[in-house]
Structure 1
Amino acid sequence: MKKNIVYYHGKTQYFNTGDALINKSLIDFITQFGEVEINLKDAPDNYLKDLKIVSNRTVSKSYLSFVFQIIKGIIQNSKKYNQIYFISSPPGHQFGSGYKAFFKELIVAFSYFLLYCFKVKIIKIGFSLGPLDARLKLLERFKTNFMSSYLVRDQISYNYAKNLGIDKVDFFPDLAWTYDVLPKEDIKNGVFISFRDQIFTGANNEKYIEQLIFTLKNIIKSNFSKNRIVIGFQVSEDKQFCDKLFQLLKQEYNIEFISEQIFLSNAHIFSSFEYVLTNRLHVALLGFQYGCIPIILTDLNKHLKIKGIFEHADSRDLLIDISEPIHLINNKMDLIISSKRDIYEKLIIKEDNYYKSSLIKLKEIFND
C-alpha cells in the first residue's frame, strides 16, 4: 500500500523554546500519517536535541530550494506515494506590514502555486493571524486559493481570517496543549516567573514595562511574599529583562534566578512549582504540562494572541490585565489561588478535548 509523504518547512526561531515545543508536538502528530521530511536550515544542536528527531529525514536548505527539491522528488517518484503534503510554515504567530514582508510572502505565494500545479496539498496549521497591512491581507487571501487546509489556533484569528474572506479557515488548538510529558511527582511550592519586555518585537514599551513591573510587585507582595520565587526564561532574548526583574525583586524577597535558558530537555524544573506567572504563551502552557497553574499577566487589549487562546480554552479567569486597578487584580488572584484545584482539573479536561479534536482533524486531512 502506498504511503503519504509530508514535507515540512520547519525553520523557525530556534532560540525560542516555545517554538521547539509546538514543533515537537506537530512532528509527533504528522509522523503518524506518512513519511516526513523536515527542512531545518541552520538549526542548532540544542534545538535538534529538543525535537528528538530520529526516524525522519532532515535537510538544511533555503525555502525555495526546499520547494524545488519537493518538485524534483515528485517528478522522479510520481508513483511512489499516495499523496504529497506540504506544511508551509511552523506554527506560531503571523503578522506584519511593509514592502519587505509583502515581497517575502509574494515568493511564498509563487511557491504555493507551483506546488498546487503538481497536486501537492498545502497545509497551514496551528497559528495566530494578524494584524496584517492592506497588501498582506489581500495576499493572504490569495494564497489560500492553493491551500487545502488553513487552521488557526484561536477565535480571534478565526474571525480575522473570516473578515479577510478566507472561507476555508478552521480551528486547530495551539500545539502546546497536546505536547506529551510525564511530570515528575515533585512537591509543589511557589511560583515560577518569566516575562518578556514587550508584546510585539520592536514596539515602544516603556509604559507597558512600567505597568507590568508595578503590577507584578503588587501580586508578589499580596500573594507570594512567603513562597519560593524563581525567575527564569525560555527565550534567549528575555534573559536581560528577567535579570532586571531579579535585581529589582531580590531587594525585598528571597528569590532565585536561573541564568541558563530552559529547553524542553530540562523543562521538568516546572514540576516543583504550583504557579507560573508570565506574559509568554508557551512558558504558561509548558508549565501547565508539568502541573502548574498558568497565570497570564499582560495588557490584554493588545496581547490578543494569548487572550484569544486562553479565552477559547474557557480560561478567562487566568488572564490578569495590568491596566486594571490593583484591588480587582488582587481579588482575581485570590479566586485563582482558592480555586486552583478546580482550575487545574478544568484545564486537564480541556487539554484532553483538544487532543481528541486535533487527532480527528488530522485524520480528516491526511485520510481524505
Structure 2
Amino acid sequence: MSKTFYSAYTCKNNLGDLIINKMQIEEYSKYGEVYVDFTGMPDNFKNILLNSDNPNIKDFTDTYGQPYRGKHFLQVINLLKKEGFTHFTKSPGPYAVLSLPLKKLIIRLIGALGYMAANFLGLKVFAFGIDLDYISNQPKWLKWFNIKYFSLYNALGLRSLKNYEECKNDLNNTKYVPDMAFLYPKQTCINTNRKQIAFSFRHVTETETLLAELKEILSIFVPKGYAVDFIFQVEEDRSFAQVLAKNLKEYNLNVSSQCIWYENLNTYSKYDYVFSNRLHVLLLAAKYGAIPFALISKDLKERKISNIFNSISLGYLMKHIGFTNKEQWIELLSNREAIKHEVNNALEYQKQICIKRIKDFYQQV
C-alpha cells in the first residue's frame, strides 16, 4: 500500500483550487494513505478536503506533530523516509519555475531542496494536472537549470497537450494528465428547460471590448426569454461583476449576492450557458450540465483556458473578445442539444484519461 505526502495550497476562497485539490487527493487515496500538510491553509479549505468518510485521507501535522513548510522541512523529509512514505507531491495548477531576479531564484532553489531530498531518499516525486512554463523570457542558462530541476521528478502530468508538446523534448518524465476538475462527478440535473445564462469574469483591462461582446450575447439571448445573472466563485470577482452589470443596466441583470462555494455548487444547475474567463467556472458549470463558453482576453492568466479547451476538442467554445460575431451566438443557441452532448462526451473522456494516468503511476513497481 502506498503512503503519499501531499503539500496542499490554495489562494484565498478559490473554489477552483479547492476542487482540484479535493479530487486529486481522493483519487490518490484509492491506492493508499494520503497525509496532507495544511500549514497556513484556511479552515474552510482544510475541513472539506479532510473527508471524514475516507479513512485514507489524514492530516499530516496532526499525525506527526510538525509541518513540512518552514525551516525544518529537510528534517520532515527524513521523517517521511523513516515512516515509510512512498510518494511525495503537492497541489496541482500552475507550477512556479526557477526565475529571476536573483533573490527570487534563491528562494525557489531553497524550496526545491525538499523535492531534491525526497528524490534522493527514494520517494517517488511527482506532480499531476499542472502547467509548466520555463521557456518564456528565460535566458538559456536558466532554462537549463529548470530542465535539470524538473528532471528530478519521477513523473510530471501536464494538463494541456500544448504544454506537453513544449516540454516533452526537454523532459522525458512528462505525460498529458488532464486538469483535476475533470474528476469531479457529473451531476444529474432534473431541470432540462433552464432559460438562464450566467456571466462570470475576472477583471480584464479590455473592459470595453468585453462589454461589447456581452451586449451582443444579450441581444441574442434576452429576446429568446433568457434571464441573465452575474455570478462569481472567487470573491475578488464580485466588484468587477458589479461594474459590468452597471454598464449593462438596461438589461436588468441580477448580480448574485453570494460567492459560489462547495456547499452551493449546484447553483450551476440553473444555467443553460455559462460565459467566463475562469477555467474552473467553466469546467464546473459543464459538470452541472451547462454549456461552457470561454470568452478570454490577452491576459496571460487566461491562456491556460485556450490550451485546455483545445486539448479536449472544445476549442470552438472558446474565443478571444473582439473576435466574435453575431452569427456565432445564434449558432450556439440553435445547436444547444448537440453541443451539450459533445461537452458531456469530452468531460467523460478526459476523466477516464486522468483516472488511468494516476492508476498506472501508482501501480508501477
TM-score (norm 2): 0.88
Q: Contact 1:37/1:57 (CA < 8 Å) preserved in 2?
A: yes
Q: Which moves more between the two structures, 215-224 or 226-235?
A: 215-224
CA deviation profile, 1:118-163 (whole Å, cap 9, x unmatched): 1010011101222654265333311223211011000221122236
Query: Which deviations, in whole Å up to 9, do the C-alpha atoms of 1:14-42 show, x marking residues without a partner?
Result: 42111111111101100101111011122
Alignment of 1:187-198 (within 5 A): 187-198=193-204
SS of alignment partner, residue 185 of structure 1: coil
Would the alpha carbon gap of residues 337 and 13 (structure 1) be closer, same or farther in structure 2, given more than 3 Å must change? same
Q: Tell me if the contact between 1:14 and 1:20 (Cα under 8 Å) persists in the aligned partners.
A: no
Of the structure 1 ranges 234-243 and 284-293, higher mean CA displacement relative to structure 2 is found in 234-243
Cα distance change, pair 270–11 in 1 and its aligned pair in 2 (3 A): same
CA deviations 1:250-270 (Å, max 9, x no partner) are x21132111221112211011
Q: Any residues of structure 2 matched to 1:21-32 within 5 Å, and which?
A: 21-32=19-30
Q: CA RMSD in A?
A: 2.2
Partner of 2:157: 151
Q: Corresponding residue for 1:201? A: none
Contact 1:184 1:268 in 2 (8 A): no
Give the match for residue 14 of structure 2: 16
1:74 partnered with 2:81: yes
Structure 2 residue matching 1:188: 3-state secondary structure: coil
Aligned equivalent of 1:104: 107
2:263 to 245, 262, 265: 265
1:139 to 130, 137, 145: 145
**Correspondence for 2:86:** 84
Per-residue CA deviations over 1:78-135 (Å, capped at 9, x if unaligned) read xxx4x61001x31112366532542332123221221111101001110122265426
Q: Which amino acid aligns with 2:171?
A: I
* CA apart distance, 1:283: 0.3
Higher mean C-alpha displacement, 307-316 vs 54-63: 54-63
Name whichever of 275-284 and 44-53 sits farther off: 44-53
Between the aligned partners of 1:193 and 1:351, the Cα distance in structure 2 is: 21
Q: Runs of 4 or more off by more than 4 Å in structure 1? A: 64-67
Task: Please report how far the alpha carbon of residue 67 of structure 1 lies from its aligned counterpart in structure 2 after TM superposition.
Answer: 5.4
Query: Structure 1 residues 319, 360: closer, same or farther in 2, change over 3 A?
Result: same
1:146 partner amino acid? L
The answer to whether the 8 A contact 1:50-1:263 is kept is no
Q: Secondary structure of the residue that 2:190 maps to in structure 1?
A: coil
Partner in structure 2 of residue 129 of structure 1: 132
* Paired residue type of 2:196: G
Q: Could you list the per-position Cα deviations for residues 154-201 of structure 1 after superposition, in whole angstroms to 9, with x for gaps in the alignment?
A: 0221122236x1222110011111211534423422101110013xxx
In structure 2, the residue matched to 1:340 is 336
Equivalent residue in structure 1 for 2:286, among 285, 288, 302:
288
Q: 1:46 to 1:289 in 2, by over 3 A?
A: same
Q: TM-score scaled to structure 1, two decimals?
A: 0.87
Q: 2 CA distance for matches of 1:300 and 1:335?
A: 25
d(CA) in 1 for partners of 2:145 and 2:275?
37
CA shift digits 1:343-364 (9 cap, x unpaired): 1111222222222222221121
- Relative to 1, partners in 2 of residues 1:67 and 1:357: Cα closer, same or farther, differing over 3 Å? farther
CA change 1:330–1:172 in 2 (3 A) is same
Q: How does 1:206-355 map to 2 (within 5 A)?
A: 208-224=206-222, 226-249=225-248, 251-299=249-297, 302=300, 303-324=302-323, 328-355=324-351
| Cα distance in 2 between the residues matched to 1:320 and 1:104 | 37
Give the C-alpha shift of residue 214 in structure 1: 1.9
Tell me the number of residue pairs that the alignment of Structure 1 and Structure 2 aligns: 347
Partner amino acid for 2:274? V
Task: State how far apart, in whole Å, the 1-side matches of 2:51 and 2:356 are.
Answer: 24
Residue matched to 2:123: 120
Structure 1 unaligned spans of 5+:
199-204
Partner of 1:108, secondary structure, is helix
Q: Could you tell which deviates more after superposition, 140-149 or 223-232?
A: 223-232
Residues 25 and 101 (structure 1), Cα distance of their counterparts in 2 relative to 1, 3 Å cut: farther
Q: Displacement, 1:339?
A: 1.5
Percent identity (aligned) = 25
- Is the 8 Å Cα contact of residues 181 and 290 (structure 1) preserved in structure 2? yes
**2-side partners of 1:73 and 1:298: how far apart?**
43
**Structure 1 residues 114, 49: CA separation in 2 closer, same or farther (over 3 Å shift)?**
closer
- 3-state SS in 1 of match to 2:168: helix
2:269 counterpart SS class:
helix
Q: Distance in 1 between matches of 2:148 and 2:283?
A: 33
8 Å CA contact 1:5–1:85 kept in 2: the answer is: yes
- Counterpart Cα distance in 1 of 2:237 and 2:299: 22
Structure 2 unmatched ranges of 5 or more: 62-66
